[in-house]
Amino acid sequence: MIAGSEWRAFSKAPAVLMKYRDIEEVWTAVDRYISDLLVPSDEALDAALHSSAEAGMPAIAVSPSQGKFLMFLAQTLGARKILEIGTLGGYSAIWLARGLADGGRLITLEADAKHAKVARSNIARAGLAHVVDVRLGRALDTLPQLESDEPFDLIFIDADKPSYPEYLEWAIRLSRGGSLIVADNVVRNGAVIDKASSDPNVQGVRRFNDLLAAETRVTATAMQTVGSKGYDGFAIARRL
Ligand code: SAH
Ligand code: DHB
Ligand code: MG
């Protein structure tokens, strides 16, 4: 962790000369500065992270600043229906559900029974059980059941990366003109530009990005992100 005085000396080094590890420390410290200042936590969000850690789940929820960003997207869209693919402990679901318009609903899909159980309890603690539906099952099995719920105003894709190409097809099918489709983890520490990567997660994300580019029903961009989640990015597509 880099303190203010250390940073003054540290920052004189050109970024290219910094060790990657050091740069990550700066991103994390600045992310903490931003979230301490602008994204105060609360009991429900803290408890969602703590209970997930206690249950032995990976610490891969979106960061606080990213969670608030997702809430803003929902609010700005006036979202009444949100779909999330990949619930984990419900941290991003709580942020998204807080952005729902009155009477709105969030459906979130999760393959792991333990994750779904922890998420349901976290969502209930956040007072959102009546607006959030955690559906247990592999997303490719549960997505076809959503055709009567469409169209979703906002879709957040954040489950297994090799299935991202198929999730994009479903997201388009389940959305309407003006809907936003957001996908997490599309930069993968920069590995996304490695065509020859043997990592199926990288190949899944690359295929997803290629499909986004070729898809005439959406227009898309992607934003690199750094911070407490390392170096990654969000793809954001608008349904035409
Ligand atoms: N959106 C969460 C993080 C999700 S992590 C947050 O930011 O708080 C990815 C989740 O996707 C994990 O819980 C994992 O169990 C789930 N997952 C993996 N493969 C899946 C699949 N085929 N269908 C549904 N969920 C899946
Ligand atoms: C991983 C998955 C995520 O959704 C994430 O945000 C970070 C990491 C992973 O599977 O490693
Ligand atoms: Mg993610």
- For residue 92, give the ligand 1 atom closest to its CA: 8
Work out the percent of the chain whose per-residue pLDDT is above 70.
92
Q: What is the model's pLDDT at position 198?
A: 97
Q: Let me know: does 61 contact 91? Beta carbons within 8 Å.
A: yes
Strand, coil or helix: 141: helix
Query: How does residue 234 score in pLDDT terms, banded at 50, 70 and 90?
Result: very high
What does the DSSP 8-state code read for residue 63? P
Q: What distance in angstroms lies between residue 86's CA and the mean position of ligand 1's atoms?
A: 3
* Averaged pLDDT for residues 159-167: 98
Ligand nearest to the CA of 189: 2
* Averaged pLDDT for residues 225-231: 94
Q: What is the model's pLDDT at position 2?
A: 58
* Cβ(185) – ligand 2 distance below 6 Å: yes
Q: What distance in angstroms lies between residue 92's CA and the mean position of ligand 1's atoms?
A: 11
Q: What are phi and psi of 25, to 5 degrees?
A: -65, -40
Give tens-digit pLDDT for 19-57: 777 888 999 999 999 999 999 999 999 999 999 999 999
Comparing 4 with 28, the larger pLDDT belongs to 28
* Averaged pLDDT for residues 110-119: 98
Give tens-digit pLDDT for 116-140: 999 999 999 999 999 999 999 999 9
Cα gap 110→131, rounded to integer Å: 16
Cα gap 227→65, rounded to integer Å: 9
* Cβ(166) – ligand 1 distance below 6 Å: no
Residue nearest to atom 7 of ligand 2 (CA): 60
Q: Let me know: does 96 contact 128? Beta carbons within 8 Å.
A: no
Cα gap 140→216, rounded to integer Å: 23
Question: What is the domain partition of the chain in residue ranges?
Answer: 4-38, 43-239
* Cβ(184) – ligand 2 distance below 6 Å: yes
Cα gap 88→58, rounded to integer Å: 9
* Averaged pLDDT for residues 106-125: 98
Q: Choose the residue to mutate in 185, 201, 205, 234 for probing ligand 2, maximizing ligand atoms within 8 Å of C-beta.
A: 185
Strand, coil or helix: 59: coil
Cα gap 12→185, rounded to integer Å: 31
* Cβ(92) – ligand 2 distance below 6 Å: no
What topology does CATH give the domain 43-239?
Rossmann fold (3.40.50)
Comparing 219 with 16, the larger pLDDT belongs to 219
* Cβ(92) – ligand 1 distance below 6 Å: yes
Q: Which residues contact 19 (CB under 8 A, 6 or more apart)?
A: none
Q: Let me know: does 215 contact 168? Beta carbons within 8 Å.
A: yes
Cα gap 18→10, rounded to integer Å: 9
Ligand nearest to the CA of 67: 1
* Mean residue pLDDT across the chain: 94
- For residue 84, give the ligand 1 atom closest to its CA: 1
Residue nearest to atom 21 of ligand 1 (CA): 138
Among the residues of the chain, which ranges form H helices?
4-10, 20-38, 43-54, 64-77, 91-98, 113-125, 139-142, 164-173, 200-214
* Cβ(61) – ligand 1 distance below 6 Å: yes
Q: Choose the residue to mutate in 52, 57, 60 for probing ligand 2, maximizing ligand atoms within 8 Å of C-beta.
A: 60
Q: What is the model's pLDDT at position 31?
A: 96
